[in-house]
Amino acid sequence: MARRRSPGAPASLADGGGIERLYRAHRLGMVRLALLLVDDRETAEDVVQEAYAAVHRRWDSIATEEAALPYLRRSVVNGARSVLRRRRTVRRYPQPDESSLTSDPPDQRVLLTEEYREVLAALWQLSTRQREVLVLRYWSELTESEIAATLGISIGAVKSMAARGRDALAIALGGAS
């Protein structure tokens, strides 16, 4: 017997095409999120592809697309963190504000103004957690509770890390906070 979804019910992943919709709707945004966390487009795409694969593997336990998005985002952040950890472990990964690690065409780097490059370089001086918090706050525009859920930390820790990260950036960018 075919199951019918009530008009107000959220879309189920199991109703066919859910993962496709999720993929079409959020792949670019997730790649951009991953890019901000790993600073390398190709790696970002890999991270996102594996995050979608993780969602697919959990297909049966993720009830709705609304629930799948936070899971997907968490997978992207965790995947990006694993990449950074691997880089640090394998080759004492340097700060990626230099172009050595990016696969982006050089002209894209050039397109970033000096102002933006300065801010991005300062972001990469922060701890991984602080950077994740700031990216989720100012790029993904998540609330503190959403960031806490994504990173698996308390709201208080989010507040603290965001404040410290902003302070560090303010100092690095030449202004007292």
Q: Which of 13, 79, 84, 130 is close enough to bind other proteins by CB under 8 A?
A: 79
CB 112 within 8 A of CB 9: no
- Token code pair at residue 53: 């694969």
Nearest to 83 by CA among 47, 52, 114: 47
Using the minimum distance from each CB to other proteins, give the nearer residue, 5 or 88: 88
Helices (H), 4-154: 18-38, 41-57, 65-91, 106-111, 114-123, 128-138, 144-151
Would you say 125 and 168 are in contact if contact means Cβ atoms under 8 Å apart? yes
- Cβ of 165: how many Cβ atoms within 10 Å? 24
DSSP 3-state of 12: strand
Number of residues that bind other proteins (CB under 8 A): 66
Side chain identity at residue 138, one-letter code: Y
Q: Give residues 132-151 in contact with other proteins (rule: CB under 8 A).
A: 134-135, 137-139, 143-145
- Kindly write out the interface string for residues 113-132 of this chain, putting x where it contacts other proteins by CB under 8 A and - elsewhere: x-xxx-xx--x---------
- Tell me whether residue 64 or residue 144 sits nearer to other proteins (CB atom): 144
Instruction: Note whether 162 binds other proteins by CB under 8 A.
Output: yes
Q: How far apart are CA 42 and CA 117, in angstroms?
A: 20
Question: Scanning residues 11 to 70, which ones bind other proteins (CB under 8 A)?
Answer: 19-20, 22-24, 27-28, 31-33, 35-36, 41-42, 44-45, 49-50, 52-53, 55-57
Q: What are phi and psi of 103, to 5 degrees?
A: -100, 5
* Residue 173 interacts with other proteins (CB under 8 A): yes or no: yes
The residues of the shown chain that bind other proteins, judged by CB under 8 A, are 19-20, 22-24, 27-28, 31-33, 35-36, 41-42, 44-45, 49-50, 52-53, 55-57, 79, 82-83, 85-86, 89, 104, 108, 111-113, 115-117, 119-120, 123, 134-135, 137-139, 143-145, 154-157, 159-160, 162-164, 166-167, 169-170, 173-177
